[in-house]
Chain A
């Protein structure tokens, strides 16, 4: 069982992702804002982070940068983006993401992606 941090402001998406990860048998840590995400990443030391990019306040890219700046460099961060944003692959990688998943979230895709990093 691994510990997975989900940073996601939308309640329903949070529930959806948490549910899928739950069926995989992993522990879920939830953060609703970027700042909370950075704090929990430092405090909880998760094995993987799922990062929504379109967050209110500091966005997913900025949050990712800050987490990396805290010295957490080995933990894979998978970006969760809307289709419209996915073209910015370069930007995601430059900010420190290791991969990305496009919305709408397909349970199969998310399982495959997480499986690839853990």
Chain B
């Protein structure tokens, strides 16, 4: 089956070559300047091989040398294996590779000229007496074949078609293959008729009746670059083949008859078996011929069947294709065929559809355009978007793919139609949604940009306000305190009787003035501290001092108040504890803690313990006061929070003391810990690091 098809294609190639060849006869002669042409050489005597002299030889070499002489080319040869040659050709390292069988696959990679240099076929060779008479006899055998060849591929396919288990051994050259058969490492080998004819006997091999794959052989060129070379080869080959006395026929004769015509070995002659051999040969020839005729007949029948089957397959493909399809005659635009899907989808009866012109399917505004378009589509595949009218009058958007077809002798075009109406509608909707979204995004972006601008403005204003706040605090710290200082100062003078004696009521009321003024001053001072801490503007003055002495000093200042409430005020622990910190801030914190303890404890004691733990100085203030409920502990260090309870009397305070104290202790690298049990008392412990960390 393959042989037949290949022969037909070969004929096509020849015809095409002829068509090309005639006008070439009248084209100007080859260019005069010497052109270097690089040709690959591999070992496949007698077609192409390296002679003992080291020079390339063989049929292809004879021919290309002749052409080179005619064309004025300078030839360079690059020796290698078949595979190397092909890969060099593909990379463009060589211009021509000889002895390349044409295939459609190869034409994608290489360019071919059109007139074959020679026709050959593949044949199986085996050791003498192998008994291989047909393809089936190769079952279970090891067969060598040249790697990267059509031969190998065809043989593999044949083997699989016949479901034969053949071990295929690819070899780089025929010589290796033949040697392997001779050595018994393989049972048979596929080779071309030329090589077998010339070399089989050397290895003690003989041809078997297994022949296949006749093929035309060409020079192949690097794809796309060497068209002038190929044209020249065709031109010269045509001339060579026309003249029976040309170098072409001389070479064929030389390589396939003169030298290859083997002489009978001496021992055969001696044994006088010449006749016997001739007889066996002719008998075998007759058998072979008969079987070949039978095989050919079977193949023709099969081809016929194949054609019928193939036509049915294509008809089925058209008729039952789920996509609507139509065929129209080019020129007249008459409809020639429509398939079932077309009838179903469009709603026209087949008869109606076949009475249409192609343009009848199109809405008025597209009729002229499609007629012009259809006229210009010869030889081109086409894809386009159009509109078709259905039988119910509705218009659908279609995507059409069309290409040329020959239909019952008509020059026609087949079109495959996809109804994309819904898709189009969805696309439109999507586009609308997209546009709406785009607009919204743009609008929103503009709004956000505006907002950003506004925010920048607000930010600027906030910065200004913050500046103003800082200035306000700085100025307030002085301005608020000055009159208060005055009030407190004069109240003090009056209370001390420096300006005259006071009666008891006057003393009592003035004490209230002084108390309230002092409270107000504390409040102002706390608020200023708070602002400074929040703004990070507090400055610390670190100096060495005795924490124990400071603590005792502070405790003493509360002695009078404690005595008045009959509270025991006890100091215990270290007598001397030198640390480096901000003394005034530590004082502020301790005053707050001791003050709170004295203020909130009505009976019992306030006990102050001075000491150290691992790396801190610790002053713990423990009282026997009301204690703090577990749920109130978290509020303890919030600002403006005073824990109130129905059980507790309301105490005067700023609500800022503990908050500021904790912030200050954190700034100083220490902290405040609280333990309390409601109803039993509280312990506030201040810790200050013994070793001050150096600040960078």
Which A residues lie at the B interface, using CB under 8 A? Answer: 10, 12-13, 16, 19-20, 23, 54, 82-84, 86-90, 103-108
Contacts and interface: CB of A to CB of B under 8 A. Distances in A.
Contacts of B539: 87
Contacts of B484: 104
A60 to B, nearest CB: 13
Given A20-B493, A23-B498, A82-B481, 20 more contacts: A10-B482, A12-B483, A13-B485, A16-B489, A19-B493, A54-B478, A82-B477, A82-B478, A83-B481, A83-B525, A86-B584, A87-B541, A89-B541, A103-B485, A103-B489, A104-B485, A104-B486, A104-B492, A104-B521, A105-B489
A89 B489 CA distance: 23
Contact of B496 (A12, A88, A103, A108): A108
B334 interface: no
A56 to B, nearest CB: 11
Nearest to B585: A87
A20 B521 contact: no
A13 B486 contact: yes
B488 A104 contact: yes
Given A82-B481, A84-B477, A104 B584 contact: no
A20 B492 CA distance: 10
Chain A CB count within 10 A is highest, among B486, B489, B521, for B489
A105 B492 contact: yes
Contacts of A105: 485, 488-489, 492
A106 B584 CA distance: 19
Contact of A12 (B477, B478, B486, B525): B486
A16 B486 contact: yes
A84 B496 contact: no
Contact of A16 (B490, B525, B584, B585): B490
Contacts of A84: 477, 481, 525, 528
Interface residues of B, number: 28
Nearest to B488: A104
B582 interface: yes
Contacts of A20: 493, 498
B481 A103 contact: yes
B contacts with A: majority SS: helix
Contacts of B483: 12
Contacts of A86: 584
21 contacts: A10-B486, A12-B490, A16-B489, A19-B498, A23-B498, A82-B477, A83-B481, A87-B539, A87-B582, A87-B585, A88-B541, A90-B541, A90-B543, A103-B481, A103-B485, A104-B489, A104-B492, A105-B492, A106-B488, A107-B496, A108-B496
Contacts, number: 68
Interface in B457-506: 477-478, 481-490, 492-493, 496, 498-499
B479 to A, nearest CB: 11
A88 B582 CA distance: 11
A10 B528 CA distance: 22
A106 B486 CA distance: 10
Nearest to A91: B541
A82 B543 CA distance: 20
B492 A106 contact: yes
A65 to B, nearest CB: 20
A88 B583 CA distance: 11
Nearest to A17: B489
B646 to A, nearest CB: 36
A20 B499 CA distance: 9
A83 B518 CA distance: 13
A23 B486 CA distance: 18
Contacts of B487: 104
Q: Which 5 A-B pairs have the closest CB atoms?
A: A104-B488, A104-B485, A103-B485, A12-B486, A105-B489
A90 B583 CA distance: 12
Contacts of B528: 84
B498 A87 contact: no
A80 to B, nearest CB: 10
Contacts of A89: 541, 543
B565 to A, nearest CB: 23
A13 to B, nearest CB: 6
B474 to A, nearest CB: 10
A54 B496 CA distance: 27
Contacts of A87: 539, 541, 582, 584-585
Contact of B493 (A16, A88, A90): A16
B469 to A, nearest CB: 17
A35 B528 CA distance: 31
Contacts of B489: 13, 16, 103-107
A63 B337 CA distance: 118
A95 B563 CA distance: 41
Contacts of A107: 489, 492-493, 496, 498
A12 to B, nearest CB: 4
A6 to B, nearest CB: 13
A19 B484 CA distance: 18
Nearest to A88: B541
A82 to B, nearest CB: 6
